[in-house]
Amino acid sequence: MPEDLRAQAKFGIIAGLIIQFIGGLLTQAGGHAHNIGFTLSIAGLTLVTWGCLSLMRIKGYPPALGILGVLPLVGVLVLLLLPVRK
């Protein structure tokens, strides 16, 4: 299970941040691209939060602490810097 959680955490955080970045670029474009960009940003945020929940389970913290992933870069950095409790 830990390998599975590691894969989830890596995928969720990396893919989510990339999708949020692309969504942010599209949001600034205006028109219909704005709506698509907003949707991508929300999808990316969901992936980052899911990845952070998995990361907290790996490190032995309550998964609810992964909600800090809602703060994209700051939250992810704080969670990555937390020591392993197991």
Q: What does the pLDDT average to over 47-71?
A: 91
Domain boundaries, the chain: 2-81
Q: What is the 3-state secondary structure (H, E, C) of the chain?
A: CHHHHHHHHHHHHHHHHHHHHHHHHHHHHCCHHHHHHHHHHHHHHHHHHHHHHHHHHHHCCCHHHHHHHHCHHHHHHHHHHCCCCC
Q: Is the pTM of this model over 0.85?
A: yes
Q: How confident is the model at residue 36 (pLDDT cuts 50, 70, 90)?
A: very high
pLDDT digits (tens, 9 = 90+) for 4-30: 889 999 999 999 999 999 999 999 988
What's the pLDDT score for residue 86? 66
